[in-house]
Amino acid sequence: MTEEVRILDRYQVYAKDGELVPLPEFLDGIRAVFDAAEAEARLESIVANNLVEVTRNKLIMIAADVVDIVLRKNEDYQDAWQRQGIQGTLARIADKLCRVEVLADGREALVAEEKLEQTLLDNIGYSFLALLWLREKGVK
């Protein structure tokens, strides 16, 4: 059974028959069929066999969030990153890293609406833009 199951993300599982099953429903099904010890052993095996794929899918979801944020902000800022070039983008990354330090240390930020996760997503977005700028200029 464990070889035929793929955990796609925190919401769904791809079972052997090609059916997408909500993860909670899948877990309940395992627990209903097997005694507690066997169910836990099977679940641990499924998770262990799917760690790379689960991590991959989580990273894809984060990247999709970043792309969405970058596209929305880019429209608001009207491609300012292109006018500022790589130096402007790197300056934004440096600013965001300073903010990460403040937030990670638990210090109170004056702009309370921007939480640590949002700051990290912004930093990844600026890194994406820096890479895009480098690739467009043919710089390796």
User: If you average pLDDT over each of 2-6, 24-28, 114-118, which comes out highest?
Assistant: 114-118
> Which range, of 6-15, 35-44, 81-90, 114-123, averages the lowest pLDDT?
6-15
pLDDT classification of 69: cutoffs 50, 70, 90:
very high
Q: What is the mean pLDDT of residues 109-122?
A: 87
75 CA to centre of own chain? 22
Using CA atoms, how far apart are residues 80 and 126, in angstroms rounded to an integer? 12
Residue 126: both structure tokens together: 């600026």
- For 76-137, the DSSP string reads HHTSHHHHHHHHHHHHHHHHHHHHHHHHHTTPPPSSTTS-HHHHHHHHHHHHHHHHHHHHHT
* Residues in contact with 59: Cβ distance below 8 Å, sequence separation at least 6, in sequence order: none
pLDDT classification of 132: cutoffs 50, 70, 90:
very high
pLDDT classification of 48: cutoffs 50, 70, 90:
confident
Using CA atoms, how far apart are residues 82 and 135, in angstroms rounded to an integer? 13
- Exposure on the CB side of residue 34, measured as CA atoms within 13 A: 14
Q: What is the mean pLDDT of residues 25-47?
A: 84
> Which range, of 43-47, 59-63, 78-82, 92-96, averages the lowest pLDDT?
43-47
